Amino acid sequence: MIFIFNTMSNQVKVSIGGKEFTLRGENEFKIKHCAQEVDQQLKTLQGTLTDQSTQTLSLVAALNLAEQKFELQEQVNKSHNRFLSEIKKMTAFINQSIQS
Judge whether 42 and 57 are in contact, CB under 8 Å. yes
**What DSSP designation does 1 have?**
-
Gap between the Cα atoms of 59 and 54, Å rounded:
9
Residue 76 lies in a domain: yes
Judge whether 31 and 2 are in contact, CB under 8 Å. yes
pLDDT digit string, tens, across residues 45-89: 999 999 999 999 999 999 999 999 999 999 999 999 999 999 999
Q: What is the count of structural domains for the chain?
A: 1
pTM over 0.75: no
pLDDT digit string, tens, across residues 33-46: 999 999 999 999 99
Residue 19 lies in a domain: yes
Domain containing residue 51:
10-99
The reported pLDDT for the residue numbered 48 is: 95
**Nearest Cα residue to 62 out of 10, 11, 17, 14:** 17
